[in-house]
Amino acid sequence: MKANKPLLSLMFSTSILLLMATNGFCAQSVSIDTGIKNSAAYFEQQLQKNITIAVINVGSDSLRLSEYIIDELSSYFINGKNFTVVDRRNPDAVQQEDNNLLSGEVSDRTAQSIGQRIGVQNVIFGNIQPFGNDYRLDLRALSVETGVVRGVYRQDIKSDNKLTALLSGNALLASGAWKNNWLYLGFRLGGGYLPAIANTNQSSSYSDFHAAFSVTGQITDLVGIQSGLIYSLDKEVKDGDLTEGLGHVSGSFYQNKLAIPLLASFSIRPQNFLFGGLGGIYFSFPIGNMNLSVSDTIVNAPQQYTYTPVSPGAGIVLGTYLGYHIGPGVLLLDLRYLQDLKGTEYEASAANTTRLWSMFEFSIGYEIGIFNKKEVSMKKK
Do 255 and 218 lie in a common domain?
yes
pLDDT at 200 over 60: no
Do 46 and 109 lie in a common domain?
yes
Do 186 and 291 lie in a common domain?
yes
Do 322 and 260 lie in a common domain?
yes
Output the CA–CA distances (angstroms, integers) from residue 348 to 249, 261, 290, 307, 308, in the order listed: 19, 28, 10, 5, 6
Q: What is the CATH number of the domain that holds 272?
A: 2.40.160.20
| Residue 332 is assigned to a structural domain of this protein | yes
| Residue 32 is assigned to a structural domain of this protein | yes
Q: Is the distance from CB of 171 to CB of 378 less than 8 angstroms?
A: no
Do 167 and 137 lie in a common domain?
yes
Whether the model clears a pTM of 0.85, i.e. scores above it, the answer is: no
Q: What is the CATH number of the domain that holds 39?
A: 3.40.50.10610
Cα separation, 310 vs 353, whole angstroms: 10
pLDDT in tens, 42-52: 999 999 999 99
Instruction: Tell me the mean pLDDT in the region 88-108.
Output: 55
Do 38 and 160 lie in a common domain?
yes
Do 360 and 241 lie in a common domain?
yes
The domain tally of the chain equals 2
Other CB atoms closer than 10 Å to residue 215's CB: what's the count? 14
| Residue 16 is assigned to a structural domain of this protein | no
| Residue 14 is assigned to a structural domain of this protein | no
Domain end marker among 148, 174, 200: 174
| Residue 7 is assigned to a structural domain of this protein | no
| Residue 74 is assigned to a structural domain of this protein | yes
Output 203 or 72, whichever has higher pLDDT: 72
| Residue 12 is assigned to a structural domain of this protein | no
Domain end marker among 121, 146, 174: 174
Instruction: Tell me the mean pLDDT in the region 105-128.
Output: 89
Q: Which helix (H) or strand (E) holds 210?
A: strand 202-218
Do 330 and 206 lie in a common domain?
yes
Range of the domain at 157: 21-174
Do 106 and 205 lie in a common domain?
no
Do 218 and 94 lie in a common domain?
no
Do 154 and 299 lie in a common domain?
no
Output 81 or 251, whichever has higher pLDDT: 81
Cα separation, 131 vs 1, whole angstroms: 40
Instruction: Tell me the mean pLDDT in the region 267-279.
Output: 91
Sequence length of the chain is 381
pLDDT in tens, 329-375: 899 999 999 999 998 888 876 677 888 888 899 999 999 998 876 54
Domain end marker among 106, 141, 174: 174
Output 4 or 169, whichever has higher pLDDT: 169
pLDDT in tens, 119-139: 899 999 999 999 888 999 999
Rounded-to-10 torsion of CA 294, 303, 297, 358: 10
Do 119 and 74 lie in a common domain?
yes
Q: Is the dihedral of CA 181, 183, 188, 191 positive or negative?
A: positive
Other CB atoms closer than 10 Å to residue 259's CB: what's the count? 21
